[in-house]
């Protein structure tokens, strides 16, 4: 079993407060605030970190799926966009869009799209976020 930890500290109220998030490995530590989460302030936010986790997980799952079929990718470049909206009395993540471009030897596009869709559905982060609609735009780099 693998366990990963991140710690978050928040000081103050929602609008004027501030916090820091730190990954357990020490690879990242950063500030977050109301402005960085709901406006355009400096720092990160939980939704960016979810997007980073999803882009990384999906990229690895896609590379694995392609490799298992004999198509080892040179690069898998993925962007994840997390959308948060006001729903009812609060905020809700309402969608995630994965966009990926893959540099791989010649592969049938239909097979490539099947492998990409399978990676989207089965990467562990997608599974964890299954209550949220996830879309995928996958293309081959030519």
Query: What is d(CA 46, CA 49) in angstroms, rounded to the nearest whole number?
Result: 5
What phi-psi label fits residue 89: left (phi over 0), alpha (psi between -120 and 50 degrees) or beta? alpha
Higher pLDDT residue, 25 or 72? 72
Question: What per-residue confidence (pLDDT) applies to 26?
Answer: 86
Question: What per-residue confidence (pLDDT) applies to 2?
Answer: 87
Q: Is the pTM of this model over 0.85?
A: yes
Residue 25 has pLDDT above 90, yes or no: no
- Summarised one tens digit per residue, pLDDT across range 60-104 is 999 999 999 999 999 999 999 999 999 999 999 999 999 999 999
Contacts of 60 (CB under 8 A, 6+ apart): 123
Render 10-23 in DSSP notation, one character per residue. Answer: EES-TTT-EEEEEE
Residue 55 has pLDDT above 80, yes or no: yes
Query: What is d(CA 74, CA 66) in angstroms, rounded to the nearest whole number?
Result: 11
Using DSSP bridges, classify how beta strands 90-103 and 134-140 pair: parallel, antiparallel or unpaired: parallel
- Structure tokens given for 89: 């009395």
Average pLDDT, the chain: 95
Residue range 46-140 in CATH 3.30.300.20:
yes
Across 32-41, average pLDDT? 92
The whole-angstrom distance between residue 96's C-alpha and the CA centroid of its chain comes to 8
H or E, element range at 45: none
- Summarised one tens digit per residue, pLDDT across range 113-126 is 999 999 999 999 99
């Amino acid at each position: 079993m693998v366990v990963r930890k991140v710690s978050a500290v928040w000081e103050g109220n929602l609008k004027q407060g501030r916090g820091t998030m730190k990954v357990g490995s020490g690879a990242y530590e950063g500030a977050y605030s109301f402005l960085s989460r709901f406006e355009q302030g400096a720092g990160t936010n939980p939704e960016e970190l979810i997007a980073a986790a999803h882009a990384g997980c999906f990229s690895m799952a896609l590379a694995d799926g392609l490799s298992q079929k004999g198509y080892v990718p040179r690069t898998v470049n993925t962007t994840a966009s997390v959308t948060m909206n006001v729903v009812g009395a609060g905020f809700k993540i309402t969608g995630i869009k994965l966009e990926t471009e893959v540099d791989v030897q010649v592969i049938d596009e239909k097979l490539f799209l099947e492998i990409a869709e399978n990676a989207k559905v089965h990467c562990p982060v997608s599974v964890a976020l299954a209550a949220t609609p996830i879309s995928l735009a996958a293309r081959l780099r030519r």
